[in-house]
Amino acid sequence: MSDYKNPNLILETADLEPGEITWRSPSNLAIVKYWGKFGQQLPKNPSLSLTLSSSFTETLLEYRPRETSETGISLEFFFHQEENEPFKAKLVKYLESVSDIFPFLRQLDLTIYSGNSFPHSAGIASSASAMSALALCLCSLEHELFETLDDDAEFDRKASYVARLGSGSACRSIFAKAALWGETGDVKGSSNLFAVPMGEELHPLFANLHDDILIASKAKKSVSSRAGHGLMENHPFADARYADARRNLNRLIPAMRSGDLEEFGRIAENEALTLHGLMMSSNPAYILLKPNTLEMIERLRQYREETKHPVYFSLDAGPNLHLLYPEDIITDVRGFIEEELKPLCEDEIYLQDWAGDGPEQV
């Protein structure tokens, strides 16, 4: 498999029309989680996620011929219309790291304008949507300058590969509805290097599954995902975890093909609690859940017991609860959320999202 390094992607003339490219790319929610990595952003176990819809990043990339003869990356960066030095420093580092894949980046002056659809500080991680949106802009730019990526499947694979180098989970956001990342005998063509689409294999029940995100806390999390992945290296349960993730995936795929919501929900909840269990048993140990996260889980389980409605939860690396349920019970579930869960959310904020159609060039 190619590592996409391509010294031929060099502009031969400085006589280039300035241009711009915009992509809108969604976040995703892993049902089987990626937690633990090796090498250059490679996953210790395969993961499968739902691609979301209303939580997205929109990124505009402007490019023009380089005005100076300097050789590094030339970038101006605006987040929600404001310059942001810490984000810019991260992006320059990332663009340097992919400049063997896109050597023409060093020949251009770049400006990036980026913003999220979800509230600034809602405690929602944005690296998946942000890095996938940028990776898509870079692949479109390559195609615009060199006409190299005509084939849609190849375009998506490269975008997924490049997104992975920015943030592992970002590689899954490229595909509509659902994606799988990581080598597994369960899915032909699966790879550690990029995600593969799973949307077309799903039972229609999952095509627009709802994911309402209940904001238990808006605070920035105390331990980053990068540090969390690092703590898996000497984790006493690491090997058991990676084996468990494979078993869960092996059961999840048939459940999602056949429309077995109950099995899907059981796995989603088990994976969410396992993720947080791993954090609580790391050395040093840490807790990202809040008292209201647990209160919401209890209330949800009681509601499910009483109504028999197939509504389940998941969690990301944070305290906010994702409620997963099919379209046909939306009226009941929203009533339950408004009455019982919304008052437990910080500033009563919850976001309404659902499995969506993937990124869009704007």
Applying CB under 6 A, which of residues 25, 140, 225, 293 lies at the interface with ligand PMV?
225
Instruction: Say which DSSP state 336 is in.
Output: H
Judged by CB under 6 A, which stretch of 61-69, 164-172, 282-290, 352-360 contacts ligand PMV?
Answer: 164-172
SS3 (DSSP) at 130:
helix
Class of residue 204 by CB neighbours under 10 A (exposed 0-12, middle 13-18, buried 19+): exposed
**Which is closer to ligand PMV, CB of 107 or CB of 282?**
282
**Which is closer to ligand PMV, CB of 71 or CB of 224?**
224
Applying CB under 6 A, which of residues 138, 317, 333, 344 lies at the interface with ligand PMV?
317
Minimum gap (Å) between residue 228 Cβ and ligand PMV: 7
Minimum gap (Å) between residue 218 Cβ and ligand PMV: 18
**Which is closer to ligand PMV, CB of 181 or CB of 336?**
181
SS3 (DSSP) at 260:
coil
- For position 127 contacting ligand PMV by CB under 6 A, the verdict is yes
In the range 260-289, which residues lie near ligand PMV by CB under 6 A? 275
Q: In this structure, are residues 26 and 58 in contact, taking their beta carbons and an 8 Å threshold?
A: no
Minimum gap (Å) between residue 129 Cβ and ligand PMV: 11
Q: In this structure, are residues 245 and 33 in contact, taking their beta carbons and an 8 Å threshold?
A: yes
Cα–Cα distance measured from residue 330 to residue 285, given in angstroms and rounded to the nearest whole number: 38
Q: In this structure, are residues 10 and 350 in contact, taking their beta carbons and an 8 Å threshold?
A: no
Q: How far is CA 172 from the centre of its chain?
A: 6
Binding-site string for ligand PMV from residue 167 to residue 196, where x marks contact by CB under 6 A and - marks none: xxx---------------------------
Q: In this structure, are residues 272 and 213 in contact, taking their beta carbons and an 8 Å threshold?
A: no
**Which is closer to ligand PMV, CB of 261 or CB of 317?**
317
For the chain, state the CA radius of gyration. Answer: 21
Minimum gap (Å) between residue 172 Cβ and ligand PMV: 7
Count of residues near ligand PMV by CB under 6 A: 14
Cα–Cα distance measured from residue 269 to residue 276, given in angstroms and rounded to the nearest whole number: 11
Q: In this structure, are residues 355 and 178 in contact, taking their beta carbons and an 8 Å threshold?
A: yes
Q: Report which of 141, 139, 135, 172 is spatially closest to residue 27, judged by C-alpha positions.
A: 172
Instruction: Say which DSSP state 233 is in.
Output: T
Judged by CB under 6 A, which stretch of 26-34, 61-69, 91-99, 294-302 contacts ligand PMV?
Answer: 26-34
Q: At what angle do helices 261-280 and 238-258 cross, to 10 degrees?
A: 160
Binding-site string for ligand PMV from residue 28 to residue 67, where x marks contact by CB under 6 A and - marks none: --x--xxx-----------x--------------------
**Which is closer to ligand PMV, CB of 107 or CB of 314?**
314
Minimum gap (Å) between residue 234 Cβ and ligand PMV: 18
The length of the chain, given as a count of residues = 362
**Which is closer to ligand PMV, CB of 47 or CB of 51?**
47
The contact set with ligand PMV (CB under 6 A) reads 30, 33-35, 47, 127, 167-169, 225, 229, 275, 316-317
